[in-house]
Amino acid sequence: MNDNKIGFFNERMPSSVVCLRLAAIFFLLLSSVLVQATEIDPENREQRCRVELMAALENGLPGIEELWLEDSSEVTKWLAGRDEGADFSVLQLGSWNRKSGIVPVQLALYSGNGKESRRWFKLKVSGKEQVLLAQRDLVRGEPVQVSDFVACLVDCRKLRPGIVDHLPEGMIYQLTCNLRAGEPLSGKRLQPYRLIKRGDLVQVLLQQGGVRISTRGVAMGNGTLKEIITVKNPTTRKFFQAQVVGSGKVVVVY
């Protein structure tokens, strides 16, 4: 008699037995997938290595935009020569040489037998940083403010250390040397602008409660915006402390 068998199922088989056999097939397939997932594919390992390297670079180089790992061939060759069960981790980054684009990075490789090996690599990295570029030719000693500059992203390999990426609002500065239009601003070229010089006759404001009095005084030192300086009353010859609030203007500090 023909049972019309198909594989190890047939039409006379109870439904409960069929369900059990289907469940067995499902768990066999699932276990096969899980076993394959635990094995580290060399190609996937190299791709994951690049992803983890990028994550480490982004964490270790804050403020750098359009960060890109240009060359990691040494790492790829190193991983390619290892057994399939080996895994890795990024341990630490060294200092980034912006001019050459080289960043030292230390990796650890863990083999299937539990052994660990460490090695330093030189990665080539590129990126851009926001800087302030002069919108016009600026002269040494000239007062400058935020409006004299424009923020732009510039290739880090073209920048020197100490580049300024922002200026506090409301502050007035002066340059220690000339700056041509399009040149980046560095901290070494910048200092607070002196609104008052020693010996200047300044306007002194006295404010207390609803009382406001204006008088004259002699500055006993140089002063930049918001700086506290000593001022002398030319009539009483007494000294007092005052805060610089503008060119030739101070407010008495109580």
Q: Where in the chain is the domain with CATH 2.30.30.760?
A: 195-252
Neighbours of 211 (CB within 10 A): 7
Amino acid making up residue 156: C
CATH of the domain spanning 195-252: 2.30.30.760
CA atoms within 13 A on the CB side of 93: 19
d(CA 101, CA 230): 50
- Taken as a whole, the chain contains a residue count of 254
User: For 64, phi and psi rounded to 5 degrees?
Assistant: -90, 125
Ordered per-residue pLDDT tens for the chain, 254 residues: 444 444 444 555 556 555 555 555 555 554 444 434 444 455 676 777 788 888 999 999 888 999 998 888 888 788 776 666 677 888 999 999 888 889 999 988 887 677 888 889 999 999 999 999 999 999 998 888 888 999 999 998 888 878 888 887 777 888 999 999 999 998 888 888 889 999 999 999 998 877 888 999 999 999 988 899 999 999 999 999 999 998 899 999 97
**CA–CA distances in Å: residue 81 to residues 36, 73, 85, 191:** 20, 13, 12, 55
- pTM of the entire predicted model: 0.57
What was the pLDDT predicted at 9?
Answer: 46
Contact status, residue 88 vs residue 105, Cβ threshold 8 Å: no
d(CA 177, CA 138): 9
- Both structure tokens of 174: 């002066």
